């Protein structure tokens, strides 16, 4: 389940499908909105099918709704892997695994590349709601030195 079928999520899906083909695993894709309630509904529908043996999900992680969704995911009877998400340490959830892009490294590479080209007054614009923004800003700050 991914929260969007645009942005960079199509590439994530292509990668997951390729890995599934290589290992003989069938991938069932569900798109949802960025609303935790919609994501839970989509995931519950997958589980109710009785054919799902694990989940790869990009859930909402912010706020009370996101925390409730993560806590629910942590109780499911199937393995859950969060993609491009991390669980907040305060929730102390231990059953889920995580796979995520190293956004700090990417931000540092981008800032370093622009600095090497001689650019000195370049900024980065991120969304306060995005779970990737903090890493991008951290890398951007480190890479522009």
pLDDT tens by residue, 72-111: 999 999 999 999 888 988 999 989 999 988 989 999 999 9
pLDDT digits (tens, 9 = 90+) for 14-43: 999 999 999 999 999 888 988 999 999 999
Instruction: Give φ, ψ of 83 to 5 degrees.
Output: -110, 130
| Residue 129: exposure state from Cβ atoms within 10 A (0-12, 13-18, ≥19) | exposed
113: burial class by Cβ within 10 Å (0-12, 13-18, 19+)?
Answer: exposed
pTM of the full structure: 0.79
Three-state SS at 86: coil
DSSP secondary-structure letter at 9? H
> How high is the pLDDT of residue 83?
93
Residue 36: how many other CB atoms lie within 10 Å: 23
């Amino acid at each position: 389940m991914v929260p969007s079928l645009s942005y960079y999520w199509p590439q994530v899906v292509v990668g997951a499908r390729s890995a599934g083909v290589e290992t003989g695993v069938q991938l069932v894709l569900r798109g949802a909105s960025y609303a935790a309630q919609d994501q839970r509904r989509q995931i519950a529908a997958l589980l109710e099918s009785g054919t799902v043996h694990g989940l790869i999900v990009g859930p909402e992680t912010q706020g009370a709704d996101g925390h409730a969704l993560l806590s629910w995911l942590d109780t499911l009877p199937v393995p859950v892997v969060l993609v491009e998400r991390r669980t907040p340490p305060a929730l102390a959830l231990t059953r889920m695994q995580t796979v995520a892009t190293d956004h700090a490294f990417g931000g540092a590479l981008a800032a370093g590349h622009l600095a090497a080209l001689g650019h000195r007054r370049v900024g980065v614009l991120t969304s306060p709601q995005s779970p990737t923004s903090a890493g991008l800003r951290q890398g951007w700050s480190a890479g522009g030195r």
